[in-house]
A = this chain, B = another copy of it.
Amino acid sequence: MSTITVPAEVPPVSDDVEQLHKAFEGWGTNEGLIIEILAHRNADQRKLIRHTYAETYKEDLLKALEKELTSDFERIILLWTLDPPERDAFLANEATKKGAKSNHILAEIASTRSSQDLLLAKKAYHLRYQKSMEEDVAHTTTGDFRKLLWPLVTSYRYEGDEVDMSLAKTEAKLLHDKITEKCYNDDDFIRIITTRSKPQINATLNHYKNEFGQDINKDLKADPKDEFLAILRATIKGLTYPVKYFEKRLRLAIEKTGTDESALSRIVATRAEFDMKIIKEEYKKRSSVSLDQAIAKDTRGDYEDMLLALVGTTES
């Protein structure tokens, strides 16, 4: 379900590393060559490239890229080159530093990753920042946002398919009661969302819909301007329908006046090798154009080229 293309015969890593080094030399930088190599290598291959580059030239490839590149193109290349767990650690750490306006990024990482991937991100966080993701999240968030995000990033959810239907019924009712009372920050409301397995939450929310008439996220739209409700809806969508979550985020990022490059780059870099193929299908269904056409219309230059290399172009 990846949208990147890796050549049938990948050159030896020493060639890739040499070519990248050449791309940085002399006047100007050969951005095309950087895209040609990095966009068409999978996570393991990029990891090996980074490792071999450091051994060969005694410099971190990421530092070399930082020196050569600028702006949105620099950001997407750096995000892409990072190993997925380290990338999630980097994004989470950045979010904790940027304050409340980045809370949705923490919710996105914590809700859409598998338990195993979230755990790997936490391990990468330890290694890179000499502290834990959760201590930073708990330390830098406040109020209801902290009450939700702290257990959300800390959680190590069960990943099996077993579902307890009687529990689903009890907890669907509890969620509905709390929504009726407008107690969106209720302890048990947050407990259910942040600790239950995804299949269990799914069962609970299906029962909720059958029993109480509509999607929980519709009931959580009482006040469209309430930011806590918005992050609660995003979390629930990220947990139960990650593909739809990402499709909508991409759509909003592209439709925004001036384009939200930060969200666009983050989602393309984190999903290209995972579920971007289905996200694209969902995007096409939901919008009148394909994702790559929408990206091509909204971005330009090397940044556009890199994004398109990662999401793939549709034959028309």
Q: Which residues of chain B are near A162, meaning CB under 8 Å? A: 130
Q: Are B122 and A135 in contact (CB under 8 A)?
A: no
Q: Are A156 and B154 in contact (CB under 8 A)?
A: yes
Q: Which residues of chain B are near A28, meaning CB under 8 Å? A: none
Chain A residues 74-128 with CB under 8 Å of chain B are 119, 122, 126
Interface size (A, Cβ < 8 Å)?
26
Does residue A245 face the partner (Cβ distance < 8 Å to B)? no
Question: Which stretch from A51-59, A191-199, A228-236, A305-313 is at the chain B interface?
Answer: A191-199
Q: Are B132 and A157 in contact (CB under 8 A)?
A: yes
Q: Per a CB cutoff under 8 Å, which of B126, B132, B157, B159 touches A195?
A: B132
The oligomer's copy count stands at: 2
Q: Are B119 and A156 in contact (CB under 8 A)?
A: yes
Cβ distance A119 to chain B, nearest Cβ, rounded Å: 7
Cβ distance A206 to chain B, nearest Cβ, rounded Å: 19
Q: Are B130 and A195 in contact (CB under 8 A)?
A: no
Tell me the nearest residue of chain B to A129, going by C-beta.
Answer: B158
Q: Which residues of chain B are near A156, meaning CB under 8 Å? A: 119, 122, 132, 134, 154, 156
Q: Are B151 and A131 in contact (CB under 8 A)?
A: no
Does residue A73 face the partner (Cβ distance < 8 Å to B)? no
Closest 8 interchain pairs by CB?
A135-B195, A154-B154, A132-B158, A138-B191, A130-B162, A131-B158, A126-B158, A138-B195
Q: Would you list 23 pairs from A and B whose C-beta atoms are within 8 A, ordered by A residue?
A: A119-B119, A119-B156, A126-B158, A126-B159, A126-B160, A130-B162, A131-B158, A132-B156, A132-B158, A132-B195, A132-B197, A134-B155, A135-B157, A135-B191, A135-B195, A135-B196, A135-B197, A138-B151, A139-B191, A150-B191, A151-B151, A154-B156, A156-B156
